[in-house]
């Protein structure tokens, strides 16, 4: 049996040939044109020594070139290794070496990528996108120029469903990042769930991300959320993707209005920022928006409710990890009013709330969230011991604490490693954060455990304030004390200008911990 994730583009060229696949300022590609571009670059890769099974790094910003290269690597039988565009030289070299990459596709202005590539002799070829006729580094080939005379009808390599399609590097909380191997089957079925199942009101009222829908791709496409929730899911169904190179809240609102965006997926900090745009409702018409999805971290209830009220569109909260391709659970679109839940597992996926012995806990009790199904990774590349740690008894252990109610809906309580034990009592940071977000001056917050001689750990909150708002440490503590049990409220408050965030906008608690 053969299966290649690039079938998304092949089928697009057959069934949605004249529909717009990608739109970008000054450029549009139909599905037929996208297929030709993918065939041409696939041919370039093969002609320059990329063989089936070879790993190819991909370090390109949110532009059509990312999507063309992504599917061309797959089309040639290669394995895509998406890389954070913010990587410094050392991180680029690490990812290329750890994945055994034989080539790198690089966006021209990313100088750190070229320097990292130069340090890895085993990475033999550099393909540069966006060079525009400029000087190229050693061993480099201009992507666009090389495609001009390449074969537009190159055959797609035959791969198996369980062959690795993508290696996604997870940041991890300790040690070096690990590469999660996702198969062609993992990613195709996750794209199918996104396109065909997520927005259906019922099995009898089918809605999907098909022609006529336009998705704004502002999540980094090198990240699992951006790849599945926008790129793969959107192109699977025949909708249009509009890549946006960086997140700027005013620009996002402007593009939604001007280009009649129907689907937006983002992380909670993006929703915070959109809410903070002055007079947004009066200045921008967002009536085209039909679907909004939030993932990557828990969205505070207060933020979700404010956004839905202000912009008249419901947010579906989703849940997943790089190791789950990433979509594992999502709120059903007709039940977004149910507060605080990530919904049930998606089609073909199961979840269990378990104790440390992998035994189910009673309904409503807190335990670790375990997942199994078609979305679970093959394993961590070249790390059998790390794989065995998270894959036991047929379940993937997420490291997240949660509970399940009588309806089968899941609620994330917190990261298992983030739980604070204060004087013998369990404190879940997310619960404290939800309270702090209700304070009118608090824009963003993160709650951490800090060492304490008497209690073992104490509760600290790191906070940034809304522009023009003032609040002192005593005021924040008093507010939390009013709304939380005595062992839960933070005794230590640190107010800073802004909280550190990762490439998707997720608040980085590990950086806050390292700063004390």
| Residue 85, both tokens | 């565009």
Q: Which whole-number Å values give the CA distances from 4 to 1, 16, 74, 77, 188, in the listed order? A: 10, 19, 7, 8, 9
Between 139 and 476, residue with greater pLDDT:
476
What CATH code is assigned to 7-182? 3.40.50.980
| Residue 315, both tokens | 């947010």
Do 129 and 60 contact (CB within 8 A), yes or no?
A: yes
Q: Which contiguous run of DSSP H or E holds residue 482?
A: helix 473-483
- pLDDT average, residue stretch 377-382: 97
| Residue 45, both tokens | 């890769």
- Cα dihedral 182, 183, 186, 189 in deg (nearest 10): 140
Ranges assigned E (strand) in 60-100: 79-82
Instruction: Indicate the pLDDT class of residue 385, thresholds 50, 70 and 90.
Output: very high
Superfamily for 184-348? ANL, N-terminal domain (3.40.50.12780)
pLDDT at residue 430, as a whole number: 87
CA distance 229 to 293: 9
- pLDDT average, residue stretch 106-131: 95
Proportion of the chain above pLDDT 90, given as a percent: 78
| Residue 453, both tokens | 């001689």
- Cα dihedral 198, 200, 206, 210 in deg (nearest 10): -50
Please give the mean pLDDT across all residues of the chain: 93
Burial of residue 169 (CB within 10 Å: 0-12, 13-18, 19+) is: buried
Return the domain boundaries, the chain.
7-182, 184-348, 419-514
What CATH code is assigned to 419-514? 3.30.300.30
CA distance 147 to 152: 9
pLDDT in tens, 310-357: 999 999 999 999 999 999 999 999 899 998 999 999 999 999 999 998
pLDDT at residue 414, as a whole number: 85
Nearest to 41 by CA among 148, 139, 147, 154: 147
C-alpha 425, offset from chain centre: 33
CA distance 132 to 108: 9
- The yes-or-no answer to whether 7-182 and 419-514 have a common fold is no
| Residue 343, both tokens | 């919904």
pTM value surpassing 0.85: yes
Do 346 and 197 contact (CB within 8 A), yes or no?
A: yes
Helix/strand/coil for 146: helix
CA distance 214 to 242: 7
Do 159 and 52 contact (CB within 8 A), yes or no?
A: yes
């Amino acid at each position: 049996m053969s299966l290649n994730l690039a079938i998304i583009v092949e089928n697009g060229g057959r069934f949605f040939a004249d529909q717009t696949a990608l739109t970008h300022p000054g450029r549009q590609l139909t599905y037929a044109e996208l297929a030709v571009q993918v065939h041409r670059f696939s041919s370039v890769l093969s002609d320059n020594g990329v063989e089936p099974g070879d790993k190819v790094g991909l370090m390109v910003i949110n532009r059509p070139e990312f999507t063309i290269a992504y599917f061309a690597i797959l089309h040639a039988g290669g394995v895509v290794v998406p890389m954070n565009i913010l990587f410094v030289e050392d991180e680029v070299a690490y990812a290329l070496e750890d994945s055994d990459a034989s080539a790198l596709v690089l966006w021209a202005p990313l100088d750190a990528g070229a320097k990292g590539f130069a340090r890895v002799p085993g990475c033999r070829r550099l393909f540069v996108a966006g060079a525009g006729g400029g000087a190229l580094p050693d061993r480099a080939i201009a992507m666009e120029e090389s495609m001009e005379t390449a074969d537009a009808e190159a055959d797609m390599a035959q791969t198996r469903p369980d062959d690795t399609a993508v290696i996604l590097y997870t940041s991890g909380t300790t040690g070096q990042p690990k590469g999660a191997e996702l198969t062609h089957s993992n990613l195709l079925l996750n794209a199918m769930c996104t396109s065909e199942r997520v927005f259906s009101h019922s099995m009898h009222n089918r809605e999907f991300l098909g022609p006529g829908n336009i998705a704004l791709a502002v999540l980094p496409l090198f990240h699992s959320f951006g790849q599945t929730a926008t790129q793969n899911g959107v192109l699977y169904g025949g909708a249009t993707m509009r890549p946006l190179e960086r997140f700027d809240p005013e620009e996002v609102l402007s593009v939604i209005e001007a280009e009649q965006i129907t689907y937006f997926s983002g992380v909670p900090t993006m929703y915070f920022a959109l809410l903070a745009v002055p007079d947004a409702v009066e200045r921008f018409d967002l009536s085209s928006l039909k679907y909004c999805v939030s993932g990557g971290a828990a969205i505070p209830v207060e933020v979700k409710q404010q956004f839905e009220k202000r912009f008249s569109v419901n947010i579906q909260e989703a849940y997943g990890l790089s190791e789950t391709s990433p979509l594992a659970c999502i709120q059903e679109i007709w039940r977004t009013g149910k507060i605080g839940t990530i919904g049930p597992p998606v089609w073909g996926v199961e979840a269990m709330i378990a104790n440390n012995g992998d035994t189910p806990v009673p309904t409503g009790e807190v335990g670790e969230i375990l997942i199994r199904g078609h979305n679970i990774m093959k394993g961590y590349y070249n790390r059998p011991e790390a794989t065995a740690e998270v894959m036991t008894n047929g379940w993937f252990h997420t490291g997240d604490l949660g509970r399940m109610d009588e309806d089968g809906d899941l609620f994330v309580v917190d990261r298992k490693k983030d739980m604070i034990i204060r004087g013998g009592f369990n404190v879940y940071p997310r619960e404290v954060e939800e309270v702090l977000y209700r304070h009118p001056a608090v824009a963003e917050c993160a709650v951490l455990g800090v060492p304490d001689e008497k209690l073992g750990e104490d509760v600290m909150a790191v906070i940034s304030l809304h522009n023009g708002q003032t609040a002192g440490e005593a005021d924040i503590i008093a507010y939390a004390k009013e709304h939380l049990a005595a062992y839960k409220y933070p005794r230590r408050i640190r107010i800073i200008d802004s909280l550190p965030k990762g490439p998707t906008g997720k608040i980085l608690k590990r950086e806050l911990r390292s700063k004390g």
